[in-house]
Amino acid sequence: TPGDPLQWKHDPFGGEILEGRLYGRGANDTKGNLAAMLIAMAAIKRASPRLKGRILGGVLCDEEGLMLGVQDFIRRGHADRVTGAIICEPQDGHICPVQKGAIRARFLVKGRMSHGAMPLAGLNPVAALPRLIDGLWEMEQQAAGSLGKDPLLGWPSFTPTVVRAPARGPAQLNVVASRAELLVDIRTIPAQSHQGIIESLQELADRARQETVRAYGGLDSLLGVQRDLSLEVALGVLSDRPCTHTPMEDPLVRSVDWATRLLTQQEPRYSGVPGATDGTFLWACKGIPIVTIGAGAREVPHQVDEWVDLAQLLLTAKIYALSALAYLSEEG
């Protein structure tokens, strides 16, 4: 995940340790938990216990993007014999048997380019973007009001993340772009229908086009001009990832619960993952039970001065190791 090093107090690539914290880009999400996973696997290998199965460590690329790594992992058949997966993500030590779903969408608005000094010679696609953003805000409010807060996953969200004009290439102050785009990151809870959301997004695209054309028509009438008002608003779904749910009675959940209780001597904390993970595809494509647990505060990923607590990392490595041992003792 990119970031501006000039905003950091600690070198984002320095791995500085200060007062029990490791600082650096990816320390929290999720290089720290990757290290904990590798340490756990190394410890199990050194101990050479008798296990009813094998342990496979997955270090898969593009988790922050379209998750091409896990998709290729599945496509090549590497997941065919996997019966359970611990997802090593920063969840502050919470046991997470559920994950939010995710829809990544793109609105592409097509107008006509013109000089900024002669806007009537073109059709500015940027005018449609506020209507799309307002519509997303309304969809989020409606979902929150009608569905409420999920006990493990919290609230659904419809978040505009990228606004760009032109859609490709460098922008110029005195140029009306021919195309503009809006990228949206939608996070869902089990009570929502992804198909219903996508249909609502298409309705929003149609409505934004109609309202923008109507507004331009009113402006042209006021100014006494005529121009081609052929505006397009196209919806593209970049990815569609379902919510996941592993039952509490699943052997994998029981194993992680047992290991956490033993090592912390406390009641485990349960919650849900607010984002999608590689586990989403393992669950959706292969039906593999998944549980997410890891060191690191949830609010820290992608932030300036990203950090992870070293003591929590050590505890996490122990939880990974004991969970795997317990699970492979249960598996027949």
User: Is there a single domain that holds both residue 109 and residue 200?
Assistant: yes
Q: Burial level of 332, CB count in 10 A (0-12/13-18/19+)?
A: exposed
User: Is there a single domain that holds both residue 77 and residue 174?
Assistant: no
Residues 147-184, buried b or exposed e (16+ Cβ, 10 A)?
A: eeebebbeebbbebeeebbbbeeeeeeeebbbbbbbbb
pTM given for the model = 0.87
User: Is there a single domain that holds both residue 208 and residue 156?
Assistant: yes
User: Is there a single domain that holds both residue 75 and residue 183?
Assistant: no
Residue that finishes a domain, picked among 241, 275, 301? 241
User: Is there a single domain that holds both residue 94 and residue 117?
Assistant: no
CA 90 to chain centre: 13
Q: What's the CATH number where 201 sits?
A: 3.30.70.360
The two structure tokens encoding residue 209: 């086009």
User: Is there a single domain that holds both residue 235 and residue 115?
Assistant: yes
Residue that finishes a domain, picked among 217, 241, 265? 241
CA 11 to chain centre: 25
**Measured between alpha carbons, how far is 238 from 158 in angstroms, rounded to an integer?**
15
Give the domain extent around 190: 101-241
Q: What's the CATH number where 23 sits?
A: 3.40.630.10
How many other C-beta atoms lie within 10 A of the C-beta of residue 193? 10
Going residue by residue through the chain (332 aa), what tens digit of pLDDT does each one get? Answer: 666 888 999 999 999 999 999 999 999 999 999 999 999 999 999 999 999 999 999 999 998 888 999 999 999 999 999 999 999 999 999 999 999 999 999 999 999 999 999 999 999 999 999 999 999 999 999 999 999 999 999 999 999 999 999 999 999 999 999 999 999 999 999 999 999 999 999 999 999 999 999 999 999 999 999 999 999 999 999 999 999 999 999 999 999 999 999 999 999 999 999 988 999 999 999 999 999 999 999 889 889 999 999 999 999 999 999 999 999 985 44
User: Is there a single domain that holds both residue 204 and residue 325?
Assistant: no
User: Is there a single domain that holds both residue 135 and residue 249?
Assistant: no
DSSP for 234-258, written as a single string: EEEEEEEE--EE--TTSHHHHHHHH
User: Is there a single domain that holds both residue 127 and residue 237?
Assistant: yes
What is the number of structural domains in the chain?
Answer: 2
User: Is there a single domain that holds both residue 114 and residue 211?
Assistant: yes
User: Is there a single domain that holds both residue 207 and residue 284?
Assistant: no
User: Is there a single domain that holds both residue 153 and residue 229?
Assistant: yes
Residue that finishes a domain, picked among 174, 208, 241? 241
Beta strands in 111-189 (DSSP E): 114-115, 157-164, 175-176, 179-188
